Structure 1
Amino acid sequence: MVTTMPTLIDHLIKLTDHRDRELLDLTLAKALLDLTSIQRVVIARLMVDEEQKRWLDKVTLDAGGGGKVVDPLRADFKRLPRLDDEPDRVRCLQENAEIELAWAGQDGPRIYFYPLLDEVRDDERGVLEVHAGSVLDDGARLIIDQIHRVYRNMHVLLAYSDHDPLTGLLNRKSLDDTFYSAVLEELTSTSPGAGASTPSSAPQDAKPAEPERRHRVPPNYWLATIAVDHFQLLNDKHGHLLMEENTLLITRIMNNTFRTHDRLYRLGGDRFAALFHCPEESSAQNLLERLRDSIERFNFPQLSRVTVSIGFTRIQSDDTPDAALERSEQAIDYVQRNGYNQVCSHAGLLRRGFFGLVQRSGSVDVFQ
């Protein structure tokens, strides 16, 4: 049986075939390794937490077949390299241009740094790092430029389709994809999950199989739903435009409370959601209490005081977004029947005997 190496067209098709932005990074790295003689590709993302900036090597692939893909949700932020530990990456972002580093003589190995994306928020910035055994020729540079442009264009298109136009947060439609890719889905042969390795025995030109969901008990992922208290009354009293302005302020508080790699959503109207990783229930409770307190103490224009009710749940084995949302909604229902402006864990309410097991809604979308 005759096998052929993947062509530029083959990889362009793969790059434009994704609905998940997380898989774009892996596809970009594989394309560059297949189509050029480079030795390694690293895609490094800038991570921001409480104004500290660090580097996460999200994708690292070698020409020999080794490498890893790291889930940002599970990265230990404090163990990552600090921003200034990688001065060449910093210079690449500051100059918004290619940086060439010759680290073993004029004709020896090179590292090329490229700004990963163009015109993005600080918390989405990153660097494409290409390691080569010698100076790249014009043909290799052209291929890198072409593939990189397609990657950028696809990133922009997918970002437009899966974000809420008012707040810039992820929208309800994107929750299904990010839920499975971050929490429950392990892809055949390569995975965007935490610490996943790329098998060295997998042929570089093999066509990836359809994603196969292998459910497992996820390690401490949580889904929280945040409801603005008395939202409709406030909207009727103060008007739609003012409520949009205050929705943006709530979004800012959420962005300042959560880490940049946590997934934040606007589900529509008065509802927000967060998908995040915490070691235990008490840590998740404390994080959400901090959010609730920050919103309560903020001086909103013309409204003065706004409060939120928050329900959250641990993601379970064989879970679905609808089932997890339903549990967090049950917790919010309890909060709103008992005074609003509180944070409640669904599991905590179960332990206290307030309601029985949740009846899953199947494919029904809670927020349609």
Structure 2
Amino acid sequence: MGLDKKLNKSELYIIKGMLSIYNNFSNLLAESQTDELTGLMNRKTFDESIVKLYQHFSDPMSQEGDQAPCTWLAIIDIDLFKHINDKYGHLYGDEILIHMARTLQQAFKPTDLLFRFGGEEFVVVLKDQTKQECMQSLENLRLAVERILVNEGEKLSVSIGATRFDHTVFHITLLDHADKALYFSKDNGRNQITFYEDMKARGLVEEEELESGDIDLF
């Protein structure tokens, strides 16, 4: 069939049907990978892609140190979000989550990975940044969130826990490191950023953990 030949009705019908099937499949795939409320990638997507994240973002041991660009994982939690839900209702809480997602998208690079983990908790993977650059990115977010006003003039804030990607520990341990840093932020006044590595240097966490090479889960 020449390129200049017009398609008949049957051929057009088949092509239209195939395009419809493709669009439906694409929509279903997108829905399974993203959070319905915020449009960010969801926890399921993070869990499914963590092995690929490790393969892509693992930092060579020679790159350890604050001055070397590497990859960071941060958990971000909206402070006192239950209070907002209880005082203004869940619909207003949803609006805050949507606004938070947009603020995250504006604060980080397009190459950074943003996830909603559920509830008021978000995760960001920042790549190719020194510790100082990562700190500045997270601080920019913290300040941007402070400018979000809740009803009656209340201000919003976030607590953040961050850690460097380390391919020598399990991904569950990596998340635990960021989570410990997050709760240190929350337990010490909220509205601040804590790095797990700083906690470790100050002797605030115990040495633990199996290394990822000890047991092969995948």
- Fraction of identical pairs, as percent: 31
After superposition, what is the alpha-carbon deviation per residue over 1:78-105, rounded to whole angstroms, capped at 9, x for unaligned?
Answer: xxxxxxxxxxxxxxxxxxxxxxxxxxxx
Between the aligned partners of 1:171 and 1:307, the Cα distance in structure 2 is: 22
TM-score normalised by the chain length of structure 2: 0.77
User: What is the CA distance between 1:151 and its match in structure 2?
Assistant: 6.4
Between the aligned partners of 2:88 and 2:170, the Cα distance in structure 1 is: 37
Matched, 1:225 2:93: no
Change (3 A) 1:250 1:277: same
Alignment partner for residue 146 of structure 2, among 289, 296, 309?
296
Partner of 1:278: 128
Question: Of the two structures, which has the highest relative contact order with CA contacts closer than 8 Å and spacing of 6 or more?
Answer: 2
Partner of 1:328: 178
The one-letter amino acid paired with 2:54 is L
Between the aligned partners of 1:306 and 1:269, the Cα distance in structure 2 is: 16
Between the aligned partners of 2:59 and 2:3, the Cα distance in structure 1 is: 43
What SS does structure 1 have at the residue aligned with 2:129? coil
Between the aligned partners of 2:33 and 2:208, the Cα distance in structure 1 is: 28
Partner of 2:190: 340
Change (3 A) 1:153 1:261: farther
The one-letter amino acid paired with 1:278 is D
Matches within 5 A, 1:80-119: none
Matched, 1:261 2:131: no
After superposition, what is the alpha-carbon deviation per residue over 1:13-61, rounded to whole angstroms, capped at 9, x for unaligned?
Answer: xxxxxxxxxxxxxxxxxxxxxxxxxxxxxxxxxxxxxxxxxxxxxxxxx
User: What is the CA distance between 1:154 and its match in structure 2?
Assistant: 4.3
The one-letter amino acid paired with 2:149 is N
After superposition, what is the alpha-carbon deviation per residue over 1:327-364, rounded to whole angstroms, capped at 9, x for unaligned?
Answer: 1110011111111000111111111221123547x9xx
8 Å Cα contact 2:59-2:165 kept in structure 1: no
Matched, 1:170 2:41: yes
What SS does structure 1 have at the residue aligned with 2:143? helix
The one-letter amino acid paired with 1:253 is T
Q: Which has the larger radius of gyration?
A: 1
Matched, 1:184 2:54: yes
From the two aligned structures, give the one with the greater strand fraction: 1
From the two aligned structures, give the one with the greater helix fraction: 2
Post-superposition, which runs of at least 4 consecutive aligned residues in structure 1 deviate over 6 A?
135-138
Change (3 A) 1:310 1:161: same
Between the aligned partners of 1:358 and 1:307, the Cα distance in structure 2 is: 31
After superposition, what is the alpha-carbon deviation per residue over 1:111-164, rounded to whole angstroms, capped at 9, x for unaligned?
Answer: xxxxxxxxxxxxxxxxxxxxxxxx9898xxx9xx89x95765544322110111
Partner of 1:242: 92
Change (3 A) 1:320 1:137: farther
Change (3 A) 1:320 1:176: farther
Q: Which runs of 5+ in 1 are unaligned?
A: 1-134, 186-192, 195-214, 363-368
Partner of 2:199: 349
Matches within 5 A, 1:121-140: none
Partner of 1:109: none
8 Å Cα contact 2:59-2:70 kept in structure 1: no
Cα RMSD for the two superposed structures: 2.9
8 Å Cα contact 2:169-2:209 kept in structure 1: no
After superposition, what is the alpha-carbon deviation per residue over 1:249-307, rounded to whole angstroms, capped at 9, x for unaligned?
Answer: 11111010012221111111121110120331111111001101110122234463011
Change (3 A) 1:294 1:160: same
Change (3 A) 1:289 1:216: closer
8 Å Cα contact 2:59-2:71 kept in structure 1: no
Between the aligned partners of 2:122 and 2:153, the Cα distance in structure 1 is: 19
Matches within 5 A, 1:43-54: none
User: What is the CA distance between 1:320 and its match in structure 2?
Assistant: 3.7
8 Å Cα contact 2:113-2:124 kept in structure 1: yes
User: What is the CA distance between 1:170 and its match in structure 2?
Assistant: 0.8
What SS does structure 2 have at the residue aligned with 1:249? helix
What SS does structure 1 have at the residue aligned with 2:181? helix
Q: Which runs of 5+ in 2 are unaligned?
A: 6-10, 62-68, 213-218
8 Å Cα contact 2:163-2:196 kept in structure 1: yes
Between the aligned partners of 1:314 and 1:333, the Cα distance in structure 2 is: 17
